[in-house]
Amino acid sequence: MLRGKEMHLSGTEISKALGISRSAIWKHIRSLRREGYQIEARPARGYRLLAVPQHPTQWEIQADLGTEQFGKDIYVFSEVDSTNVVAFRLVMQGAQEGTVVLAESQTRGKGRLGRRWESPAGSNIYLSIILRPKIPPTKLPLITLMAAVACAEAIEEVAGLLPTIKWPNDLLIKGKKLGGILTEADMEMDVINFVVVGIGINCNMTRTSFPPSIQDTATSLQEALGREISRLPLIRAILRNLEQWYTVLVQGRGREIRRRWKELSHIGGKGIAVTFMGTVVEGTALDIDDDGALLVQVGGGGVKRIVAGDVLVRG
């Protein structure tokens, strides 16, 4: 209603036109501001729109989404500590499965094991989604793998580039890190209460805008394509693909995820070293098993099963 208006619109006018109370209007204005809309509020005059956000909004994403459940509720913020942290808070407030949190920037973007995810403003995707899978906790690693597959396919659909996946959570282009996935769960011995899957994808960043520490190892879609990409269709494609692959997972068809994951795997058959909490396993990446664990052929003909760690590809 405020779009294209030079003058202020009073609370009474808006309230009449939309049939909602003035306090409801104020609540909406506050949530629009959190999304990056600049709205002036003057006591005797009302509201005036000064600037709209440059990033995809909740309504734009939902307009042509085509999912059943994922993205029914979407929260978009200009800046948060971490979208995963916000998603955890929303679960405590009763958020439903498929609720999405997006931010333009993160002040404490999280990688795995306490590492940091660089999250500058205005150019990338930082997205978290709340899931309540009815699967045994042993199958949890499959969530990360299915999310990696869904993101790789979404990127191919929208940008025409198919990333490879490095176990367990890296999306790579030409061996450089384009994105990462952080799966965090709240669980008990034999039941998963909920899961938050956090996805970071570098979209419109140039090499020099990466911090020096990751300039040689990170890449973005803009770098790979030589042009900027629009984030809106990519966000939609990610949510659609996630919903499809998640359905495959909860229907117990993990084998299909495993098969697709292997086609996209960056490490199959390669010499690797996997590090986890100070221990290193060296060998050849063989496969993943039905629970998403990595199987490594080690010296002497043995096979080690690895459930967590960082992979270094030797060649």
Does residue 198 touch ligand BT5 according to CB under 6 A? yes
Chosen residue from 71, 133, 141, 200 binding ligand BT5 by CB under 6 A: 200
Instruction: State the Cα–Cα distance between residues 279 and 95, nearest whole angstrom.
Output: 39
Which residues inside 63-92 make contact with ligand BT5, applying CB under 6 A? 82-84
Does residue 218 touch ligand BT5 according to CB under 6 A? yes
Q: Segment contacting ligand BT5 (CB under 6 A): 156-164, 176-184, 250-258, 280-288?
A: 176-184
Q: How many Cα atoms sit within 13 Å of 178 on the Cβ side?
A: 25
What lies within 8 Å, CB to CB, of 139 at 6+ separation is 133, 249, 254, 291, 292
Burial of 50 (0-12, 13-18, 19+ CB in 10 A): exposed
- Grouping H, G, I as helix, E, B as strand and the rest as coil, residue 198 is strand
Residues 130-169, one symbol each (x = binds ligand BT5 by CB under 6 A, - = not), give ---------------------------------------x
Minimal distance, residue 44 CB to ligand BT5, in Å: 42
Number of neighbours of residue 201 by Cβ within 10 angstroms: 23
Residue count at the site for ligand BT5 (CB under 6 A)? 26
Minimal distance, residue 23 CB to ligand BT5, in Å: 32
Between 110 and 240, CB nearer to ligand BT5: 110
Instruction: State the Cα–Cα distance between residues 2 and 57, nearest whole angstrom.
Output: 16
Chosen residue from 47, 75, 117, 261 binding ligand BT5 by CB under 6 A: 117
- For the chain, the helix, strand and coil percentages under 3-state DSSP, each to the nearest 5: 35, 30, 35
* Relative orientation angle of helices 231-250 and 254-264, to the nearest 10 degrees: 140
Between 48 and 112, CB nearer to ligand BT5: 112
Per CB under 6 A, residues contacting ligand BT5 are: 82-84, 106, 109-113, 115, 117-118, 126-128, 169, 177, 180-182, 198-200, 202, 214, 218
